[in-house]
A and B are shown apart, each in its own frame.
Chain A
Amino acid sequence: MLLVEDKQIVVPGEILAEGDYHSGRGTFKEEEKVCSSLVGLVAVRDKKISVIPLQSKYIPKRGDVVIGEITDIRFSMWNLDINSPYSGILPAAEVFGKEKRELNRAFDVGDVLFLRVVDVDEVKKVKLGLKGRGLGKFRGGILIHITPTKVPRLIGKKGSMINMIKDQTRCEVVVGQNGIVWVKGKPEMERVVQKVVKTIEEEAHTSGLTDRIRDMLMELLEEGTEKTETEETSKKEEEDFKEELIQ
């Protein structure tokens, strides 16, 4: 017997179904009852119930692409902060191969990299790598942090959302699975992207989001062009005023 509807908000400990149902992600089974363990939205697929969390931390998984910041340089590896309970390591061999070179020549503390999770072992040691297309160091741009569970929403179906943002603002946008977004473009466009990404994060659980974001983008872009115009006119007025004073 199902006790909740699809896409309903549930809280930890709420009973979702009784009897012949399987517990999926974000749920657990106790005495033939499927209960939610998270704050999130219910997703029912046949007899399997899961809860999609509204807020979470990134847990590294092999094969994910992430954005990380270098926090430390050790003898033969870099330590990286990947916005997760577990810090990542990038072995020097991943970058140089067998060749031996000074590590701080390649990347220094504070550098932001785009990486792939090569392996996560039993003791939660996260090994990262740079082998792959587009992976490497970022130069310039800004970083935006969002909840990792909302990354799929930001990308959209087959990249519909992210491509729309890229086309409209002419910014380079890279999204890591760990909820870090890198944006590079004109400074005012970077700000527009930041605003839009934050809105997507806040409204990720509502439907018809892509259309609303399209409208918002249009509005923001128009505003941007208008603002420069009004600024010019006000400057002119100011100059006129000054001239009057002199006279």
Chain B
Amino acid sequence: MIIILTSKSIGNNDKGTLTTSSTKKRRDGRDFDELRPLKIEAGVLERADGSAYLEIGDNKVLAAVYGPRELHVRRLLKPNMAILRCRYNMAPFSVEDRKRPGPDRRSVEISKLTAEALNPAVFLEKFPRSTIDVFIEVLQAEGGTRCAGITAASVALADAGIPMRDMVAACAAGKSDGQVIMDLSEWEDKEGEADLPIAMMPRTGDITLLQMDGHLTSDEFEQALDLAIKGCQIIGEEQKNAIKNRYGD
């Protein structure tokens, strides 16, 4: 198992491309366009076909992929392609107040949108009448777990040897304390004005997930989207490094 760490280089950027009203430091000392420390490791589980472990800030996420494998639920079977099923689950100990175990409204929603975010990237037509199952377990949560989950799931899919058009990277942007910022922490998400998580394929630039809650003016939205895309591009590079590191390159 090889571990890669990046955090230093992310902060250095040309501030001329993006204009913000102020450049004050954030609560955790980050710049407005700085990611939390990111670590991705591929192939951590022995029994799954593919797996990945991801840490971003204090988030800890584990993703496992099984398949393509035989599908026994006949009504879900598609004769011309595989289906992609996702399950996002938070461990009871992942949050401050113990979460009741089992699926809830939120995790059902995130499971669905994770599957939809990954779907366009996978060549499902190569495995007709089968299923690919993705399991995402959040071990520790600190804001932005859906993005962390999608990023980890994509690395696990590649590790399982499933053909894909591109990796899928996800990153959030938003507005907190009157400032448009990249990669919101839990505090910034709760106390902030807006949250905009996106998932995209870094090579093609296709956005496969875009959600927003809170209020942003159209100018702020453009800024936030640019920041989120930039975040995805950095995360995409890290995903590639994680896979290459697994094979000692």
Contact = CB atoms under 8 A, between A and B. Distances in A.
Interface of A: 9, 11-15, 26, 28, 30, 35, 37-39, 53-57, 59, 85-87, 123-124, 147, 149, 205
Given A15-B203, A85-B70, A9 B247 contact: yes
Contacts of B184: none
A12 B127 contact: no
A85 B247 contact: no
Chain B's interface size range is 20 to 34
A55 B203 contact: no
B164 A123 contact: no
Interface of B: 49-50, 67-70, 79, 82, 121, 123, 127-130, 158-161, 163-167, 201-204, 239-240, 243-244, 247, 249
A12 B68 contact: no
A59 B67 CA distance: 12
A211 to B, nearest CB: 19
Given A85-B130, A123-B79, A12 B159 contact: no
Contacts of B160: 55
Contact of B247 (A15, A54, A56): A54
Given A9-B244, A11-B244, A86 B130 contact: yes
A59 B164 CA distance: 17
Question: What are the 8 closest A-B residue pairs judged by CB atoms, nearest first?
Answer: A13-B166, A55-B161, A85-B130, A12-B164, A37-B163, A85-B68, A56-B161, A13-B203
Contact of B129 (A11, A12, A86): A86
10 contacts: A35-B166, A37-B123, A38-B158, A39-B247, A54-B247, A55-B50, A85-B68, A85-B70, A123-B129, A124-B128
B167 A12 contact: yes
Q: Which of A11, A38, A56, A57 has the most CB of B within 10 A?
A: A11
Contacts of B130: 85-86
Contacts of A30: 165, 204
Given A9-B249, A12-B165, A87-B70, A57 B49 contact: yes
A39 B243 contact: yes
From A26, A28, A30, A85, residue with most partner B Cβ within 10 Å: A85
Contacts of B240: 11, 14
Contacts of A123: 79, 129
Nearest to A38: B163
Contacts of B68: 57, 85
**Most chain B CB within a 10 A radius of its CB, from A26, A35, A39, A54:** A39
A13 B164 contact: yes
A197 to B, nearest CB: 16
Contact of B127 (A15, A28, A54, A85): A85
Given A9-B247, A13-B164, A86-B130, A35 B203 contact: yes
